[in-house]
Amino acid sequence: MTSTLFALALIFGELSLLAFGGGNAILPEMQRQVVDARRWMTAEQFGALFALAQAAPGPNMMVAPLVGWRVAGFLGVAVTSIATFGPSSLLAAFALRAWERFRDRPWRRIVQAGLAPVTVGLIAASAITMARASDTTWGLAAVTLAVAAVTTRTKLHPLIALVGGALLGLCGLGAV
């Protein structure tokens, strides 16, 4: 148990410091760690946890405490929450003190602009990873594409898209 908690702390502490672009940028690495490396759950189960976190309110990093809960109960929640939110928050706190000095420096703009394509790539990689984990049938793949198309073209509320997907799933699209 202690070794599991230690592993959770290590994995999510590292993810915390790599999360340029927020929670949606680190999903492939999270999946690689908890599914491929540690075998704590299947890719499909990880996809379901991600979906639950999307359906809940709040920041888009809530899949982390959910994974912690799944792997090691309430202690797991405590450890993953501290590991996920602690390191990046401390870094932000220290950076805030230096922000006055570096925000107008040319290098700040260049570093930020330079990180942007990497962040975009990570978010796209997350989308592909989660689609691959969740779309186990043609029907589900159709749901993913339909939701992507509709929410890109319209201002449909994400929560309505999620409810729509859940209803389509209930109608048996998952079995097609």
Partner 1 sequence: MLMPISPLPASPRRDPPSVVELFHGFLILGLTGFGGVLPLARRMMVEKRRWLDADEFTDLLGLCQFMPGGNIINMSVAVGLKFRGATGALAAILGLIAAPTVVVIALGALFDRFQDDPKVRHVFAGLAAAAAGLLLSMAAKVAWPLRVSPINSIIAAACVLAVAGLRLPLPPTMLALAPISIAMTWKAARP
Q: Are 145 and 107 in contact (CB under 8 A)?
A: no
Number of Cβ within a 10 Å radius of residue 9: 18
Which residues from 126-145 bind partner 1, rule CB under 8 A?
126-136, 140-141, 143-145
| Minimum CB distance to partner 1, residue 78 (Å) | 10
Instruction: Report yes or no: 39 and 48 within 8 Å, Cβ to Cβ.
Output: no
* Under rule CB under 8 A, residue 121 binds partner 1: yes
Of the pair 6, 118, the CB lying nearest partner 1 is at: 118
Classify residue 176 by its DSSP letter: -
For partner 1, which is the closer residue by CB, 7 or 53? Answer: 53
Site for partner 1 in 52-81 (CB under 8 A): 52-63, 65-66, 69-70, 77, 81
Neighbours of 93 (CB within 10 A): 9
Restricting to residues 153-172, name those near partner 1 by CB under 8 A: 157-159, 161-162, 164-172
23 touches 85 (CB < 8 A) = no
